[in-house]
Amino acid sequence: MGSYIDLTHPAVSTASPIPGLPDGLIPDGLVPGGLLPAPPPPPPPDPSAIAAKYAGAVPREWGLAVTGTNTRLAVPGRRIALTFDACGGPQGDGVDTDLLAVLEREKMPATLFLNGRWIDVNEALTARLAANPLVELANHGTRHLPLSVTGKSAYGIAGTTSPAEVIDEVWINHQRLHAITGAPPRWFRPGTAHCDEVAASIVRDLGEHVVGFTVNGDAGATLPAAKVQAAVTSALPGSIVIMHVNRPAGATAEGLTAAVSQLRSAGVEFVTLSGADGLA
């Protein structure tokens, strides 16, 4: 007759993990078996301290790919990350249900950047997205503002004007997404995707990382389907593709459907940002 090991009650050694120390005597800071206890979690960010740290900081960069912005996957392999913005606000609170249906039907991992105003109007849908294991929710800001410490603008949209306003733009929606998903968001994309390098550093101190993009897949959901298809299929391994999920009148869903078939035939794997081995 064979024997078995009872894995439900594993034996715990009382042998000392320190040579020369009597068996049964466990030094402070160690648990039986010689394993170190898990380190305590880092303290949560202190927004007030971060605002004080960056008071008076003068940025030298402005745009879509400043220092501190991640625009591609660190380890490309054959992977591409599809990301979708939900911007909120006037004309921006809609839902492209056709696009969501494509993601569901194709079982495609995707990262959705949600703005606080969009969540306000789509709370039930946000909860359903948070429960979908193929979807990662990320932070698209509280008011969908370009992220600046000096008030720079992009596409006619005035940006935040100080470190304190940068923090509010990030942190209010950060806390909201944390409450919705049960975990703090890891990724932040500013409204318009524009920021300066001081703001990007503030985002990092708040526990997130600024994410831009490699390929603009739908130009704010304004491209026809054929051009969406062409843009997405042009993405090389390691690309981060930006599209929009809040413009139901756009052709993003149709163009993406055609592109996915081509890319999968070429052996491309789709991942969420957190499913990649780091960003660069």
pLDDT grade, residue 10 (50/70/90)?
Answer: very low
- pLDDT digit string, tens, across residues 224-247: 999 999 999 999 999 999 999 999
Helix, coil or strand: residue 86: strand
Residue 35: pLDDT band by 50, 70, 90 thresholds?
low
Determine whether 3 is exposed, middle or buried from the number of CB atoms within 10 Å of its CB (0-12, 13-18, 19+): exposed
Task: Evaluate whether 241 touches 217 at the Cβ level (below 8 Å).
Answer: yes
Residues 6+ apart with CB under 8 A from 262: 229, 233
User: Residue 13's pLDDT is what?
Assistant: 46
User: What Å distances lie between residue 152 and 194, 199, 212, 275, CA to CA?
Assistant: 9, 12, 18, 33
Sequence-distant (6+) residues with CB within 8 A of 187 are: 111, 113, 136, 138, 139, 208, 209, 211, 273, 274
pLDDT at 8: 39
Place of tokens 């703005």: 115
Looking at per-residue pLDDT, the higher value among 6 and 116 belongs to: 116
Task: Give 104-118 as a DSSP string.
Answer: HHTT--EEEEE-HHH
Residue 129 is predicted with a pLDDT of 99
| pTM of full prediction above 0.75 | yes
- Amino acid at position 52, single letter: A
- For residue 218, the tally of other CB atoms under 10 A from its CB is 28
Contacts of 156 (CB under 8 A, 6+ apart): none
Please tell me the predicted confidence (pLDDT) of residue 85.
99
| 8 A C-beta contact, residue 71 and residue 209 | no
Q: What are phi and psi of 158, to 5 degrees?
A: -70, 140
Q: Which of 158, 159, 90 minimizes the C-alpha distance to 121?
A: 90
CATH of 47-271, one of 3.60.110.10, 3.20.20.370, 3.40.50.2000, 3.40.630.30: 3.20.20.370
> What's the pLDDT score for residue 174?
99
